[in-house]
Structure formats: C-alpha cells, structure tokens
Amino acid sequence: MEIFYSGDIDGQMLTLDEEETRHCVKVLRHRTGEEIFVIDGRGHLFKCILCSTSGSRARAEIVERTPSWGGHPYHLTMAVCPTKNNERFEWFLEKACEMGVDRIVPLIGEHSERKVYKTERARKILLSAAKQSLKGAVPEMDEPVSVKDFLLSQQPEDPSCRRLIAYCFEAQEDERRSLREMLETPGADRWVVMIGPEGDFSEEEARLALSRGFIPVHFGASRMRTETAALFAVSAVYQHYI
Amino acid sequence: MEIFYSGDIDGQMLTLDEEETRHCVKVLRHRTGEEIFVIDGRGHLFKCILCSTSGSRARAEIVERTPSWGGHPYHLTMAVCPTKNNERFEWFLEKACEMGVDRIVPLIGEHSERKVYKTERARKILLSAAKQSLKGAVPEMDEPVSVKDFLLSQQPEDPSCRRLIAYCFEAQEDERRSLREMLETPGADRWVVMIGPEGDFSEEEARLALSRGFIPVHFGASRMRTETAALFAVSAVYQHYI
C-alpha cells in the first residue's frame, strides 16, 4: 500500500507537493480518476481520487477520512542526545517511528560530542518511516535544545505524564528504578524519557532533572549504546500497551 | 575499558590471535607486564598480565577469572530471515547483542529475497558488539538454514523452552497471542523466536511451525520491518527479565 503525504488540505481537496507529485505521477504513473491514499502527518489517512495530475502539484478529492490511523494508546516524547555518528541516531529515528513515538527532542548535553544537529534530514526520515509503517501521524521533530533549557521548559504538574531520565552514575545506582517497574506503576499515559550522550549527562544536568520531577531509571545490566538505549525505551513503552 | 578476545586458552595462559595482538600491541601499545582484559566468547572475563608481546601472537597469564560476565538470566535464540538489505540485518545483530541474545539462526524462507547469507562478517559484528557492551559471551552465529530444516531440527519436548513464531496472515489474527502475554506466562527461561522475511513466512512454513509446537504471536498494531520486529522481540525478552 503506497502512502503519500500532504500538508495542504482544504476541505474536501488536498494538494501534493512537488516531490510527492513526482513520485505519484511520474514514478508510480497514477492518473486522474485513480484512488490514492494520503496522510496528513497528524494522524489522518485520506482515501482520495486524483483530480488533476498536470503541473507540478497534483490535486485530489478526499472521499474517506480515517482518524488516528496506525496510532498508539500513549504519548511518548524521546529527548535524546544525538550520537556523534549521525547514522546511528537516524537509525533510532526510523525504528522509533516504526514502533511508535510521538515527539523527538534532540538534546545537546554538556558532554555531547555533537553540539549541532540539523533536523531537515531527520524530518524526512520520520516521514518516510511513518508512511512505510502505515501511520497517519509523523512524529514531531523539535529543533535541538540544551539539556538545561529542555528541563526548564518541562512542567512537572501533569500527573498523567511520567518523566524519566536514564543515566549511569554508579554512585546513584540504588536511587534508580527499572523502566519496567515505572511502566507497571499505574496512572500514566504520557511519557518523557531522557537519554544522554556517549559521555552521559553531567551531574549538574542530572541534579536539575531530579529537581524538575524526573525519575532516574535504569535499563537493566546490559551496557547499551545511546541509540540502543533510546530504542529500548521506545520498545518497552510500546510493549507495555500491547 | 578495552576488551580483547582469545579463543586459545591453555590453563593459566592465553594467546591472542594476530588481529587482536596487532590491536593490543601496535595500536594500544600495551607492553609486557601490563594488565589486559580478555573474553573467551563463552562468558568468561579474564584479567591477565601480558607475558610476551614479540611476534605476531601475544601471550598473557590469567590472574583472575569472572564467569558469566555481562550475562543475562535467560537463553534466547533468534531465528530470523536476513533482510534483502544486509546492513539492516547487521544493525539488528549489533543491537541484539548489546541487549542480550544467545544464538542467531539466519533462516532462508520460501519468500526470502536473500537466499544466501555469509556469516563471516556477522561473526565479526557480534564479537565487536560483545566487547563493546562488556559481555563475556559472544552470541553463537549458525550457518544459514531453510525454515523447514530449522523447524525439523527443533525438539518440542523441553517444557522450559517456549517457541514462538511471528507472522502476519490476517486470516489467523485471532489465533495469535501477544508476545507480552507469552512472556508473562510463567515456566519458561529459554526462548526461540522466528521472524520471517519481508514477504512473510509461507502458509506451509507457518503450518509446519505450529505442528512443531511453535506458538503464533503478534507484536501489536505497529507494522515493523523484519529487523525492527526481530529487535523488538529481543528487547521484550530482555525487558521481561530486568
């Protein structure tokens, strides 16, 4: 099932951008009158009939709407320090989208080797992973933010939202709880999980996180790379709601 | 912590092969009398003192042995059809090893696009992932085998071993149970999980699996690529034992 994306929906009509039009008309050779399926990236699947394929932007009429198509029963924000090797982080983005994630926040930590992160490629990877895994919603991709600014932006009030931070300071080992235990504590359907860089969070960042209501968690005995730990967290949350 | 590997252990002495010796002596410039850490790939970590660094094979004396170093409290065999794009399968191998897997069986299914799989690179990836994630045991890598021959080799008797197969035939949707439900059913500490190719298992392969005592499972609503589904299964088993 081939899925297209449109960010330009006006009542019963939608327009594909130049790239989607090329793929739909030039590559897949869809013609006027044919049925196509389009997501809006916000959760909807539209069954459409192509009305115009001439010019650089195809237009189609919506004949059926499916809300929260391919959705999941939780809201997960992954706030992760991008890895030095960008390919590893991009692999995480694709896999996290396939399993089910809602928002990605690229964090720049004090120990981050990568201090700059461009989100343009990341957005493309998330869009194509959402289409490939038949999801109407494309995960939001934030612009990079420092760990401190991210923490200061968090509102600890919402009781249905559980905020977790994974770090590996051996000193604090006893204070950490297992991700599984946190998932099995009832009352939450919104999750925020912070994953540090290769060099881990700084102690100051960790202290600030705790003061902002984040709960320190561990992922068991295995020592995982940043992107593996991040995907493990997505996988664990997804599994909890199956 | 830099870890070396040796498959040549004789009492208190061990020998590094040429590649490990080059890395230890030429790259990291370790000298006679220095302490190094070596795994045997079967679960042991050895603290050693380098005795000889001349020649192409360094030798070291074992001064301390740690059994089941970086081990996990279950035994997991992942029998997975390698993906058409080999890089995707290699990502799975690395990540599965980081989380915790014991044996990889590359399956060739009737619908496999990849009918040939070379295990040499895979073994290197698993060894380096085991060292990087501080595990004394390197997952076993079987030679590729057809789905049918693999199934015929399985002995359904052992009650502590639970055998699962993930497939997506919509007809059989009701017969499948969730992986989570299976994990939470007590009594098993050994797991075998079969993951099909992009084109799924054939109905004949699935029928044979059921006749051999495999239980059909689903991984929830998300549509995952082969390597994502396989890693999700590893992640779910690992999480269950945390």
pLDDT truncated to tens, each residue of chain B (242 aa)?
A: 899 999 999 999 999 999 999 999 999 999 999 999 999 999 999 999 999 998 899 999 999 999 999 999 999 999 999 999 999 999 999 999 999 999 999 999 999 999 999 999 999 999 999 999 999 999 999 999 999 999 999 876 778 899 999 987 766 667 888 999 999 988 889 999 999 999 999 999 999 999 999 999 999 989 999 999 999 999 999 999 98
What is the C-alpha separation between A191 and A160, in angstroms, rounded? 8
Task: Report CB contact under 8 Å: B236, A232.
Answer: no
Q: Which residues of B touch A238 (CB under 8 A)?
A: 220, 222, 232
What is the C-alpha separation between B29 and B119, in angstroms, rounded? 31
Task: Report CB contact under 8 Å: A179, B95.
Answer: no
Same domain for A132 and A27, yes or no, is no
Contact A99, A235 (CB under 8 A): yes
| pLDDT digits 0-9 by tens, A26-68 | 999 999 999 999 999 999 999 999 999 988 999 999 999 999 9
Which pLDDT value is given to residue B173? 63
Give the domain-ending residue among B66, B96, B112. Answer: B66
Which pLDDT value is given to residue B169? 74
Q: Which residues of A touch B222 (CB under 8 A)?
A: 70, 72, 98-100, 133, 135, 238
Q: List the single residue in A with minimal CA-CA distance to B241.
A: A220
Same domain for A56 and A124, yes or no, is no
Maximal C-alpha separation, chain A = 66
Lookup result for tokens 């699947």 = A45
Q: Which helix (H) or strand (E) holds A124?
A: helix A120-132
CB proximity A73 to B under 8 Å: no
| Count: domains in chain B | 2
Three-class SS state of A130: helix
Same domain for B155 and B234, yes or no, is yes
Contact B164, B134 (CB under 8 A): no
Q: Is the pLDDT of residue A173 over 80?
A: no
Pairs across A and B, CB distance < 8 A: 92
What is the C-alpha separation between B107 and B100, in angstroms, rounded? 20
Same domain for B189 and B164, yes or no, is yes
- HSE-up of residue B162 (Cα within 13 Å, Cβ side): 17
Same domain for A55 and A103, yes or no, is no
Domain of A224, CATH number, reads 3.40.1280.10
Determine the structural domain holding residue A180 and report its residue range: 75-241
CB proximity B153 to A under 8 Å: no
Q: Which residues of B touch A235 (CB under 8 A)?
A: 231-232, 235-236, 239
What is the C-alpha separation between A220 and A168, in angstroms, rounded? 11
Task: Report CB contact under 8 Å: B98, A235.
Answer: no
Name the minimum distance, in Å, from the CA of B134 to any CA of chain A. Answer: 7
Task: Report CB contact under 8 Å: B236, A231.
Answer: no
Taking residues A85-103, what's their average pLDDT?
97
Read off the pLDDT band of A172 (50, 70, 90). low
Which pLDDT value is given to residue B172? 62
Same domain for A23 and A109, yes or no, is no
What is the C-alpha separation between B172 and B175, in angstroms, rounded? 5
What is the C-alpha separation between A69 and A114, in angstroms, rounded? 35
Same domain for A106 and A140, yes or no, is yes
Read off the pLDDT band of A187 (50, 70, 90). confident
Three-class SS state of B213: coil
Maximal C-alpha separation, chain B = 66
- In this complex, the residue of B91, B135, B222 whose CB is nearest that of residue A238 is B222
Same domain for A82 and A172, yes or no, is yes
Mean pLDDT across chain A, nearest whole number? Answer: 93
What is the C-alpha separation between A218 and B238, in angstroms, rounded? 13
Strand partners, A101: none
Which pLDDT value is given to residue B158? 78
CB proximity A116 to B under 8 Å: no
Same domain for B81 and B56, yes or no, is no
Which pLDDT value is given to residue B11? 93
Same domain for A109 and A219, yes or no, is yes
Which pLDDT value is given to residue B106? 98
The answer for B 3-62 residues in CB contact with A (under 8 A) is: none
Q: How many CB atoms lie within 10 A of CB B220?
A: 17
Residues in Cβ contact with A187 at an 8 Å cutoff, skipping those fewer than 6 apart: A159, A160
Contact A236, A183 (CB under 8 A): yes
Three-class SS state of B45: strand
Give the domain-ending residue among B43, B66, B89. Answer: B66
Domain of A39, CATH number, reads 2.40.240.20
pTM of the model: 0.94
Same domain for B153 and B84, yes or no, is yes
From start to end of B16-155, where are the E strands? 35-39, 45-52, 59-66, 75-80, 103-108, 140-141, 145-146
The token pair at B12 is 């208190």
What ipTM did this prediction achieve?
0.93
Same domain for A113 and A210, yes or no, is yes
Read off the pLDDT band of A168 (50, 70, 90). confident
Give the domain-ending residue among B66, B86, B107. Answer: B66
